[in-house]
Structure 1
Amino acid sequence: MLIFAHILLMSVKNFFKRIANWELWNFNLLYAPISFVWLWYCLRSRSFWFFTPSNPTIAFGGFEGEGKKEMYEQLPAEVIPRTIYIRDGIPFEKVQEQLTASGLQYPFVVKPDVGMKGILFRVIEDEQQLRKYHTRMPVEYIAQEKVDYPVEVSVFYYRYPWEKKGVVSGFIHKELLQVKGDGKSTLKQLIEQHPRARYRLQEMEHRHQHRYDRVLPDQEIFYLSYAGNHNRGARFTNLHTEIDEHLLRVFDRLSHYNQSFFYGRYDIKTASIEDLKAGRNFTVLEFNGAGAEPNHIYDCNMRLSAAYKVILQHWKALYTISRYNNKHGIPYWSFLKGKAFLRASRKHFKVLEQFD
């Protein structure tokens, strides 16, 4: 009876903490109060998909459903990780041949070519794990070298097409969801005590239940997720004081490389902030386009009203870029084309979630 009462009390506490902390709100709930602004941009553009010209060479402007292959092909080869693309359903022997030909070595990471929110992101340590992943994978995926730079950051950048210089509007450091051993507590106990992981108990049980009884040695770090996403529990530290001309120069160069990346967020691993500013020792993991969230609003004690101001500033930039590109020959997607693409994309993600 006491155990039941304790569980009930913890559930009630967690519920009220979620209400008090807007960063834990459901995406739709968070954005509902300002959704009329998005609708206004649709009306002004006379297009439901007003954002599609923002990044003209990425499907749907990079709002949702774009492939990593099309993104990597538009960045300098020296800043992207070694990557191979593997079709689902091919014999595993063919996968092994691709690995041998590419020179990719274990451990490496795998993830869907078209994915989001860290779904089906895994670190593969050996052939047995890869075989299991390939057998279960329902869609085309990528195998990619594991980038071991110690610092992971996100940089939000946009550039108006008529200008040479852009704006770095957000810069954050990411700390992956992790626990540290104390030599006494089990993994399950560490998760239940963790300030973010304890809100994700169902996900943690799904991923780590077979390790729950393991006692981590003192000071040992155990990564609960390798995906640096807010919705996967990563902790963000705002680095806005580090934004300067050196950092801007790096992302201006990337934006101008194919003349078509005008708005979005770069997820990057680097040896250090200083190296990134110098344009060396960094790797672009992903570029997220029109659908990218300005994630520097999180984990910085920002008031909800201030967060809404940041979001609305970015929506205005997205609208302005898209409208300009449209007036200069880049068409908006038709309603039916966008609707069909979005429906196919969401069907795709539902499939992925079932296998995650």
Structure 2
Amino acid sequence: MGRGKDEHEPLSFFEFWPGWLFYTPIVAYWIAMGVRYRDFGMPTAANPLISTGGLCGESKSSILDMAGPIARQFIAPWVVLDTDTNDLARAQAALAAAGISLPVVVKPDIGCNGTGVKLARTTDALALTLAEFPRGVRLVLQRLIPWEHEAGLFYIRHPQEDCGQITSLTYKDVPALTGDGRSTVAELLDADPRTRLLPHIYRPRLADRLNDVLPKGQTLPLVFTGNHCKGAIFRNGAADITPALTDVLNRILRDIPEFHFGRIDVKFRSESALREGKDFEIIEINGVGSEATHIWDAHTTLREAYAAQFHHYGEAFRIGAKNRARGWKSTSLPAGIRQWREQKRLLRSYPQND
């Protein structure tokens, strides 16, 4: 089922399978667990104060709003803006009131996989970015975290436990091209062992630069958002899960009421600092719909990927059942489907991410 990886191979053989193909066994597992627990929506009770437990259609800002004073110290400051008229003026006023200066990251409040996430470094860029979104959409404007490194930390804590555990740590690397003074961007993409295999991911975002020749030594980042499906490269960082990092994450997430299961995306200064639980800021907090993203490391076998998926979704069912016993309710199937459809509608309306 799985197979080993040569360290020089640029991606795993299942890394970019069609979603229906990779996730069919996971859907089957979910159905089997739903029959066992007599509730197909049981995982939505894992984080009972988050809409659908964070499975789909949840508001990013509402999760951040739940953070207490300890957790807020670690979250990059943000404001929300509902697109309408005079967006730029209202955005500037909200940012000024929160003490946030440009550059900022603009992202949809309801979304996934980095869809619609844009970076605005200047006032003109912010105005253009806001105009790209449809009217009546809620956006999150968040201060750009200056550290370049990004990671996803998966956290699980059962309701009866005082301390949870980090079950996955994934480093998210941004691929970049380095100019040689002769080759065009298109030629550099074709020469790179990874990007040449994934033209549908990298080329559309660089459509207006494909014929540019990068000066020798100049680098061109290929993606801004740390999302696998948008082109970021994921590395398994499990060896860097330490008691110090776990202790800090516990203190943060215990300060978010009834948060038990999900992935925390952070930017950090260095891997050594992260191991010590220092010098990192939280971008966002994701619930039941998030993955332990180390499965997309090119060295992960298919067997290991499915084992990780089954373990994490099994935990979501078990935590949901424990919360149901405490009096919390899961999201009904019709309500969940409505939120999923609304999220899909919104995703189609967002501009291409940076």
TM-score (norm 1): 0.89
Q: Which residue of 2 aligns with 1:131?
A: 127
Q: Which residue of 1 aligns with 2:72?
A: 77
Match for residue 151 of structure 2 among 150, 153, 162? 153
Q: Which residue of 2 aligns with 1:62?
A: 54
CA offsets 1:88-118 (integer angstroms, 9 cap, x no match): 1221332333333333322221111112111
What percentage of residue pairs aligned between the two structures are identical? 29
- The alignment covers a number of residue pairs equal to 340
Provide the rounded CA distance (Å) in 2 between the counterparts of 1:315 and 1:99: 38
More deviation in 156-165 or 292-301?
Answer: 292-301
Q: Within 5 Å, which residues of 2 pair with 1:96-135?
A: 96-135=92-131
Match for residue 45 of structure 1 among 37, 43, 46? 37
Q: Which residue of 2 aligns with 1:6?
A: none
Q: Which residue of 1 aligns with 2:82?
A: 87
Q: CA 1:20–1:81 in structure 2 vs 1: closer, same or farther (change >3 Å)?
A: closer
Provide the rounded CA distance (Å) in 2 between the counterparts of 1:254 and 1:100: 26
Provide the rounded CA distance (Å) in 1 between the counterparts of 2:233 and 2:125: 28
Task: Could you tell me which runs of 5 or more consecutive residues in structure 1 were left unpaired when the two chains were aligned.
Answer: 1-16
CA offsets 1:30-77 (integer angstroms, 9 cap, x no match): 121343211011112322312111111211101111111112112322
Q: CA 1:258–1:93 in structure 2 vs 1: closer, same or farther (change >3 Å)?
A: closer
Deviation at 1:183, TM superposition (A): 2.3
Provide the rounded CA distance (Å) in 1 between the counterparts of 2:200 and 2:313: 34
Q: Is the 8 A contact 1:89 1:135 kept in 2?
A: no
Deviation at 1:278, TM superposition (A): 3.5
Provide the rounded CA distance (Å) in 1 between the counterparts of 2:11 and 2:170: 25
CA offsets 1:115-168 (integer angstroms, 9 cap, x no match): 211111111122222211111211221221111113211111101111112121
Q: CA 1:64–1:128 in structure 2 vs 1: closer, same or farther (change >3 Å)?
A: same
Q: Is the 8 A contact 1:18 1:24 kept in 2?
A: no
Provide the rounded CA distance (Å) in 2 between the counterparts of 1:83 and 1:165: 28
Provide the rounded CA distance (Å) in 2 between the counterparts of 1:159 and 1:300: 28
User: Are residues 1:208 and 2:206 paired?
Assistant: yes
Q: CA 1:273–1:20 in structure 2 vs 1: closer, same or farther (change >3 Å)?
A: closer
Q: Which amino acid aligns with 1:117?
A: N
Q: CA 1:212–1:286 in structure 2 vs 1: closer, same or farther (change >3 Å)?
A: same
Provide the rounded CA distance (Å) in 2 between the counterparts of 1:220 and 1:20: 29
Higher relative contact order (CA 8 A, sep 6+): 2
Q: CA 1:355–1:185 in structure 2 vs 1: closer, same or farther (change >3 Å)?
A: closer
Provide the rounded CA distance (Å) in 2 between the counterparts of 1:115 and 1:44: 30
Provide the rounded CA distance (Å) in 2 between the counterparts of 1:335 and 1:94: 38
Task: Could you tell me which runs of 5 or more consecutive residues in structure 2 were left unpaired when the two chains were aligned.
Answer: 1-8
Provide the rounded CA distance (Å) in 1 between the counterparts of 2:245 and 2:27: 32
Q: Within 5 Å, which residues of 2 pair with 1:222-301?
A: 222-301=220-299
Q: Which amino acid aligns with 1:128?
A: D
Q: Which amino acid aligns with 1:345?
A: Q
Match for residue 32 of structure 1 among 21, 24, 32? 24
Deviation at 1:178, TM superposition (A): 2.0
Q: Is the 8 A contact 1:109 1:144 kept in 2?
A: yes
More deviation in 314-323 or 135-144?
Answer: 135-144
Q: Is the 8 A contact 1:54 1:321 kept in 2?
A: yes
Deviation at 1:221, TM superposition (A): 2.1
Task: For residue 254 of structure 2, give the secondary structure of its aligned residue in structure 1.
Answer: helix
Provide the rounded CA distance (Å) in 1 between the counterparts of 2:304 and 2:251: 30
Provide the rounded CA distance (Å) in 2 between the counterparts of 1:127 and 1:19: 38
